[in-house]
Chain A
């Protein structure tokens, strides 16, 4: 790592002021499980001049329910979200997604806000100076996405505006299916908006000095069935090759409401609106589930190395719907 200034922010406002002062040349740190890698690998076009520690800010680590809304402070650790009995009971999708992140050590350090705001995993973007080769790609201000013409087996099958890296956050996928909101604070004050709007074109859609402060999840109907599947090489710590989050409400076998989000396949969390519309009002059985799987990938256009994600996505969407119907959990 190179040299940088380090600040322990006491309040969000102080952190915002510092971000303003450094005008794009500072980074905030919480658990640091991603940022430290970014700094060690020295992949940012400009090495940050300052690191602003958010862990010293009081009252940003909480899990509470208020008026039918679950509120999680952005500094809450993934392990705490995963093990919260409140979340396990009512928002199990989120609990499972958090549990599938990284390793126990990473979950003990990593925060929910940090998981949402982590940088992409594209191996061209992440190629480090320690290796010798750095790819000056689109994300770094270059002209080319090296993944498009290179080895893109972990990249998007639903295109992208230039960069074809996928959204790396498991939490974002689960929160998308839960219709959650994020609350942020910046120089212009606070705002609250859907998690799905936090991302744009494989990047965070935040102002330069804006910080995520809270996640808000509306309480799902008690009869809603929530399933999370994360497909990866190792069950221990890999990023998702494909992940699926589903929330399904049935009424006598008929789909009353459904929300499905895909991860690992697109630059942002991908809601399957068309599939949802198809399922609503239909009986959920192996036929409709299979059709849903097919619809989910109908518009996929794979790159040279990632066509294998299509059958995987198709199969997982089908499974997740049937698992939700049968009240089965992960096997």
Chain B
């Protein structure tokens, strides 16, 4: 594998200024993690603790007519059983469509009851003794079926359209009718996607304990501990300051540990703990991961895109519609970002996006390595490719002509539009194409680059843009960082309301603090988040930590440093600019004259015995004047720019696809830690490869049961499925590509996935000359497309 970092002169200059940033510093928690000493939720054992197990629904949609738990309760070793009947008596508030327990089940595996017992074996046996009588109801998995079905949640909507963010799910810019009138060529493309899963290694786990009216919960939410406490407080109608959430190490998230699934498991543990009067741990297994956890939003979807261009290849209009099966609930943020892709990847003057997100009988939909923008890429690229093919244009030239670039207006759905400040797809694609040797390899549309026996090679590319700025956040999740300096030895602790999900968050924020305060990263620790006594934070999601948490840390560290220096300057009676902060030496001295100093403890006394710096990130959308372009007067914003090039080999006798080469490229602004960036690029690329080639939940159509619910049946790539020379990561490093953050860096963990998976799709098309407008591209699909074996169109695509 190789990692190419191409630096501009400005970037070189910045790297010279930095002492800690830009360096390949290993993850600060790596030692704890690789030696098994990091405390994950499942490592928490409380005195007198019980174990909980969950009874799950065999029906995709049903009403519980009768439930009798008396036999289970009578089993020796069982402490308590909860069913929907306990909800009211325990004061649990329930808002449809987000139930903890109710007398209805909305998908196979939905929660019916839970048991707490002395050990898991007894709890499991007790589940068998709960007698449930169901009245099965009609169920549906696809948006097409949902559109004509009875409403799933008649309490909130009459038409099965999901009540989430951004109704009425329609947005347009320009005039598409005029746009199509002015088009010389118009194509219609229909594309389908299955439900895909996060497949992190740590299954949903929670420990709950009541101490009087205080609720203590250990969990692994991707939302911050304070936000999680607020959610639990509202479920149990208790004051937020009585809910203590301890955010443990997170064993992978990819968006799947955002609010709902960890919350329900924690709430069930808390309900059992309340009824038993003892602490309860629930740890789910990999099977339950498929029915407790979410799928990518949008879920099982059909995309219909109509797109027009003139003879010269200038895109004129797009009319895009998405029918999405969103599961039993969703906030639809993925749908929003699906639209974002259509509006903000290519310069298309006339645009329309409509979405029909439906309730379906599968688990809820959520972010999965991004909210929806990755799902929007394959259908958009399919449509754009078809135009380019009909015009006989090389796709690289087509992107250079039409791609989004610096200074363009970015259309947003939930907030004001902004002007793009840095980053440009045409420039990125041009540079990356040279490195990939595209012009030499390209032989035209649907022409293999190489044929050998039954093997056909093909190349492809795709582009994507993605939020690099955090998604719009309500005020309550604004980022704050607090830094504390210990005056006795100058060591530093920092805290925010968020935890590393594997993207290097702890490490990079520590680097920022080390850089400002001039100390070694080893002298800094990130205090484990716990809700009580801590500020609220911005969660770890949406590629945002690198902007907003880093911004908050930068402000906190600078505030702290300024306070220390100002106090020292007045004691020493010197110009503050002449002072050097030497935390390790626990003193502040005059530059060039170390004998003139003041002790850190003295400064501590001035500030009431404690040295603390607080900083927050300015709200993204009401930023200071520097967020305005002085020339146009427009508000500025950022987006990540991504492209990917793929070379594949398809065996037309067996339908097997081998990925020969994958090259992903981005303009990350400055790289604050090359190890983290490399890890994220590779991780994102491999994740996307698995989704395009193999993944997707296969449902039994008669019952709605997910059939491939385990690591052996749901094939994600392992380390053995990638080889050394398969991947190339390219970063074009220039501070001007991320103008709006203190260190000129933006998040890259999500967008690569979006570009990458379609580059494989295009490469397969060019290799075999058959369009397969869905994924995954399993052998059965390839052989069907080649006319070698029939394969039925399955519900849910896979």
Contact = CB atoms under 8 A, between A and B. Distances in A.
A132 B108 contact: yes
| Chain A interface, >50% SS class | loop
Contacts of B701: 150-151
B281 to A, nearest CB: 16
Given A123-B708, A131-B705, A316 B127 contact: no
Contacts of A311: 653-655, 783, 788-789
Contacts, number: 136
Contacts of A41: 287
Interface residues of B, number: 58
B108 A133 contact: yes
Contact of B791 (A40, A307, A315): A307
Given A124-B700, A311-B788, A238 B715 contact: yes
B721 interface: yes
B707 interface: yes
A101 to B, nearest CB: 12
A103 B702 contact: no
B694 interface: yes
B714 to A, nearest CB: 11
Given A127-B707, A234-B717, A305 B792 contact: yes
Nearest to B454: A315
Contacts of A304: 792
A239 B706 CA distance: 19
B698 interface: yes
A311 B702 CA distance: 28
B778 A233 contact: yes
Interface in B89-141: 108-110, 112, 120-122, 124-125, 127-128
A238 B712 contact: yes
B125 A2 contact: yes
A54 interface: no
A129 B56 CA distance: 8
B582 interface: no
B654 A316 contact: yes
B708 A130 contact: no
Q: Which of A236, A305, A308 has the most CB of B within 10 A?
A: A308
A312 interface: yes
Contacts of B794: 151, 305
B702 A40 contact: no
A233 B698 contact: no
Contact of A130 (B288, B454, B698, B789): B288
Interface residues of A, number: 44
B285 interface: yes
B398 to A, nearest CB: 33
B277 interface: no
B780 A305 contact: yes
Contacts of B706: 131
Given A41-B287, A132-B58, A237 B718 contact: yes
Contacts of A305: 780, 791-792, 794
B791 A235 contact: no
B784 interface: yes
Interface in B278-301: 284-285, 287-288, 290-291
Nearest to A42: B124
B703 interface: yes
A75 interface: no
Interface in B778-796: 778-780, 783-784, 788-792, 794
A131 B654 contact: no
Nearest to B720: A236
A200 interface: no
B125 to A, nearest CB: 5
Q: Which of B655, B700, B707 has the most CB of A within 10 A?
A: B707
A235 B109 contact: no
A315 B651 CA distance: 10
A2 to B, nearest CB: 5
Contact of A308 (B702, B703, B709, B780): B780
Interface in A125-155: 127-135, 146, 149-151, 153
A146 B700 contact: yes
A228 interface: no
A3 B713 CA distance: 27
The 8 tightest CB contacts between A and B, nearest first, are A132-B56, A236-B720, A315-B653, A130-B287, A308-B780, A308-B789, A307-B789, A132-B109
Given A42-B124, A132-B291, A153-B780, 6 more contacts: A124-B707, A127-B707, A129-B128, A130-B284, A241-B779, A312-B653
10 contacts: A2-B121, A2-B125, A128-B287, A131-B291, A146-B700, A234-B718, A234-B720, A234-B721, A237-B720, A311-B655
